[in-house]
A and B are shown apart, each in its own frame.
Chain A
Amino acid sequence: MLMMPEPDAGTMARRETIVADLRALLGADAVIAEEERRRAYECDALAAYRQLPLVVVLPEDTAEVAAVLRYCHENRIRIVPRGGGTSLSGGSLPLADGVLVAMGRFNRILGIDYDNRLAVVQPGVTNLGITKAVEEQGFYYAPDPSSQIACSIGGNVAENSGGVHCLKYGLTANNLLGIEMVLIDGTVIRLGGAHLDADGYDLMGVITGSEGLLGIITEVTVRILPQPATARALLMGFPSVEAGGNCVGAIIAAGIIPAGIEMMDHPAILAAEDFVRAGYPTDAESLLIVELDGPEGEVAELTKRVYDIARGLGATTLRASESEEERLRFWAGRKAAFPAVGAIGPDYICMDGTIPRGRLAEVLRRTSELAGKHRLRVANVFHAGDGNLHPLILFDANAPGELERAEAFGADILRLCVEVGGVLTGEHGVGVEKRDLMGEQFTEADLAQQQALKCAFDPEGLLNPGKVFPTLHRCAELGRIVVRGGVLPFPDLPRF
């Protein structure tokens, strides 16, 4: 069972006062104290874990966020930031003694600067909202998580979210130009801006993906890109998972970096085809969706080259989208893969390991062995170009013991990812879900150094505690647990 930090009895006892104080700070309509309304915030998309927050606040500008954080800091109250609540790792899971800071009212686009190819937005704007705001002018925002209708850009920054176009266009981190963030003591800092590289330490780089542990993001400047002249999606079916995996490696080895390469295995193909009728070949053991973009001639040329590679590896289906409508339909199946699998589940959990691409076939084979061992079904979708796996483990939450088995299976898959040189999470974050597995990938010293950074931002550990780190050491203790070199007196510097 997941252990969260022990609620602070003093804070729990002061709940009424805290609510009243927050109302005085923000106005009554920005503070949610009633149980039935707090209920709406009790979980994110990792719905197996639920917790009513102490109180929910809905600030609407930076000054209000600063006021809330300053207040919580002075009164030693824990804080959980929340964007769209679509985290798959429990990043925005509330704490019983924590103020949930919901960023939904930060929903405005503040400015679009086409000359500098950027948009300045509030963190509660949805990922898709940015593209919608600039598409008429022929631009888009490149990272496109499947949750893009619902997830917020602030959440994307906090998770360093990806999407199907990361292979060529990068993750959130590579498409950010600036942020404004409120630190735990209410200090407001601004990093980056319209210029391309921020100065000083790359704090923006390390805040990206920090899962709400370092501060609350109140403004985001993203890079927008002109739409490519043409984009085409290819559907390629293969008689085995190995052949599909090899095809991915062969395309990249040929020097081609498609806009995206996605892969689905047989169970995922069936589920998606059932769900959206995208026209996927249901007889294939693996399916690749390869998107090529650029000038029309180039896309045609690359299509030929990719087809040749695929044929050489025994592809049984080769189809290219002939219209924008068809391209979107090819993608619709992939983008709906999670709900599609959910529909046959009845429940599922989505894993998110990344592996060196060359180990794909091996990892899939061993995953299906593990499925046997845990007596559960699994469907696989991946961002194959970057080796990012999403095994979807099917289970029935109402069957006693199945959730635990599914979680044990998931943990085994992630251990396998680390064993072959990969990592626990490629884009969904550690949250509470993978927190206790961090020791599989990192040594005590690795984690101590990460926590040292946390201490520079939030020495009392008030921001989103219980997430990411299995044990949060007190900052004062950290120095003592590290491996000290100085214990061996350096034999007076011999090689001067």
Chain B
Amino acid sequence: MSDEQLPSIIPRDETELVQVLGYCQERRRGLAVLGRGSKAGWGRPLKVYANLMLNAFAGLRFYEPEELVLSAGAATPMRELQALLDQKGQMFAFEPPDLGPVWGHDGENGTIGGAIACNLAGPRRFKAGAARDHILGIRAMSGGGVLYKGGGRVMKNVTGFDLPKLLCGSHGTLSVLTEVTVKVLPRPETERTLLLAGLGAREAVRLLTQALNGPDEPSGAAHLPAGLAPMFDFLVADTLAPANGRSATLLRIEGAPASVSWRIDSLRRRLPDFAAAEVLEAEPSRALWAAIRDVSPFVRRPAAPLWRVSLAPSAGGAAALAIARALPCHWFLDWAGGLLWVQVAGEAVAAGAVAGADAGAAADGGAGVVRAAVAAAGGGHATLLRAPEAIRRAVPVFEPQPEGLAALTRRVKEQFDPNRILNPGRMYAGV
């Protein structure tokens, strides 16, 4: 929680950061670690002594396009880095989402450190991986006050333990990142999207699976159910018009213009269903995938619980339908079914607003229903990305872990942050 009432500590350099952490460690005082606080609503509510503002650790260290590597202070705004990459025709291939608006914050406000700490990934995930697959090196300070580096700046490195990966997705609970070095890649010259209207969720996932299982290398595979199209339409005007109120099943192909055409032809030869598909050209295609990446349809109701569910792609369609049967919600699928976004109807959550079984199912923000669906899908995890604080206090925000793994997680925390001063309890109680 970036509680405005809390004092802010703003170390000017690593030496001061050492002092701050040393001080807080001795007195066992918790800190909320903030890039820009754009994702501050993510995680269990914190009870801390102060906000640790990392603004000083900003600025480009180096960018070598030919070496495909970029290094920057952890609090460098993503926006600046993205602009730099744009100029050289490159990108962060993990397609980092801009999630600030999910919590009602402004967009375009995140930092590279926040992107790494949350290990996010966009629609290209199944092809290109997540932040963890692109991190090369870090400088960081552990809660225990050790200033250390991990990894390096080269593409291949197995020298010692891969601490940079460990910090991806640690949500600031193990160490404070001061500098990160990331692999970048050439940006595809263009893209197009095939849109098929009217498929059911299961059918859509089956078709997307077939598309991914051939040689055509799609880089985006999503399914938007019928009710959702209007929510996209206001974001990316008329892009979904071809669906005409029906569901939209989307397949993105990126590359050089000729290559995109070849791949689309090949897909259509291989899978006759796609013969009927509409083709969205580069501009609308980009807008559409940016909206999918940033979960834009679900940014307008900051009080409605929002779940991010990661599961076996082939199980995505059935899981979505099972959840929608039990819970008043909106949902859509990305990653060919492997990523399910569920926004629980806000009204249903407000106690008593909805009568009967629905109200019961939603009172926990939908946790019971959503997590049961994950279990039925054969495993995966559900994260409560957004919810009113009361719900985030009451239900586990991150997927509860089996005891052996939970104990190991606690031991890792203990080794990095023995006095639990960094984002204490953000991910799990006691961690």
Contacts and interface: CB of A to CB of B under 8 A. Distances in A.
A387 B23 contact: no
Interface residues of A, number: 104
Interface in A153-180: 159-160, 162, 166-167, 170-171, 173-174
Contacts of B408: 183, 187, 189, 203, 456-457
A386 B160 contact: no
Contact of B145 (A190, A386, A486): A486
B148 A434 contact: no
Interface stretch (B37-45, B190-198, B207-215, B272-280): B207-215
Interface residues of B, number: 103
B239 interface: no
Contacts of B89: 255
A237 to B, nearest CB: 23
A356 B63 CA distance: 13
A208 B170 contact: no
Given A174-B129, A200-B427, A479-B418, A226 B215 contact: yes
A229 B266 contact: yes
Contacts of B153: 356, 421
A456 B142 CA distance: 15
Contact of B163 (A206, A388, A434): A206
B144 interface: yes
Interface stretch (A94-102, A271-279, A291-299, A315-323): A291-299
Contacts of B426: none
B154 A423 contact: yes
Interface in B250-268: 255-256, 258-259, 262-263, 266
A199 B312 contact: no
A170 B130 CA distance: 12
Interface in A112-169: 113-117, 138, 159-160, 162, 166-167
B310 A199 contact: yes
A495 B132 CA distance: 34
A424 B160 CA distance: 10
B155 A196 contact: no
Contact residues of B: prevailing secondary structure: mixed
B162 A201 contact: no
Nearest to A209: B158
B290 interface: no
Given A117-B213, A196-B125, A493 B22 contact: no
A490 B160 contact: no
Contacts of B263: 295
B381 A173 contact: no
B266 A485 contact: no
Given A201-B169, A205-B165, A453-B163, A426 B156 contact: yes
Given A189-B405, A295-B262, A358-B67, A195 B311 contact: yes
A354 interface: yes
A90 interface: no
B7 interface: yes
A355 interface: yes
B351 interface: no
Contacts of B82: none
B332 interface: no
B340 to A, nearest CB: 10
B312 A195 contact: yes
A446 B162 contact: no
Interface in A352-376: 354-358
Given A229-B215, A295-B262, A482 B146 contact: yes
Interface stretch (A20-28, A30-38, A334-342, A436-444): A436-444
A115 B316 CA distance: 12
A486 B255 CA distance: 52
Contact of A357 (B66, B313, B407): B66
A301 B427 CA distance: 49
A296 B259 CA distance: 9
Interface string A424-466: 1111111000100010011101111110111111000000000
Nearest to B418: A479
A194 interface: yes
A5 interface: no
B64 interface: yes
B401 A200 contact: yes
B159 A446 contact: no
Contacts of A456: 408, 411-412, 414-415
A208 B162 contact: yes
Contact of B166 (A188, A205, A301, A442): A205
Given A446-B148, A482-B146, A493-B50, A387 B154 contact: yes
B375 interface: no
A446 B149 contact: yes
Contacts of B10: 495
Contacts of A191: 405
A358 B166 contact: no
A445 B147 contact: yes
Interface string B401-417: 11011011101101110
A244 interface: no
Report which residue of A113, A173, A490 has the largest number of chain B beta carbons within 10 angstroms of its beta carbon: A490
A196 B156 contact: no
A445 to B, nearest CB: 5
A424 B155 CA distance: 13
A253 B414 CA distance: 44
A228 interface: yes
B255 A479 contact: no
Contacts of B34: none
A388 B156 contact: yes
B8 interface: yes
A199 B169 CA distance: 8
Contacts of A385: 155
A2 interface: no
Nearest to A437: B159
Interface string A367-409: 0000000000000000101111000000000000000000000
A287 interface: no
Contacts of B150: 446, 449-450
B298 interface: no
A495 B166 CA distance: 31
B174 interface: yes
B22 A423 contact: no
B8 A354 contact: no
B364 interface: no
Given A356-B154, A486-B26, 14 more contacts: A166-B155, A189-B405, A194-B314, A195-B311, A199-B381, A199-B399, A208-B165, A255-B189, A297-B259, A297-B262, A298-B259, A449-B150, A456-B408, A487-B22
9 contacts: A115-B313, A194-B378, A195-B311, A205-B165, A206-B166, A226-B215, A295-B262, A428-B158, A429-B158
Interface of A: 113-117, 138, 159-160, 162, 166-167, 170-171, 173-174, 183, 187-191, 193-203, 205-206, 208-210, 226-229, 249, 252-253, 255-257, 294-298, 301, 354-358, 383, 385-388, 421-430, 434, 438, 441-443, 445-450, 452-457, 468, 479, 482-490, 493, 495-496
Those 10 A-B pairs whose CB atoms lie nearest each other, nearest first = A486-B22, A205-B165, A485-B18, A490-B23, A485-B22, A194-B312, A426-B156, A255-B186, A199-B381, A386-B155
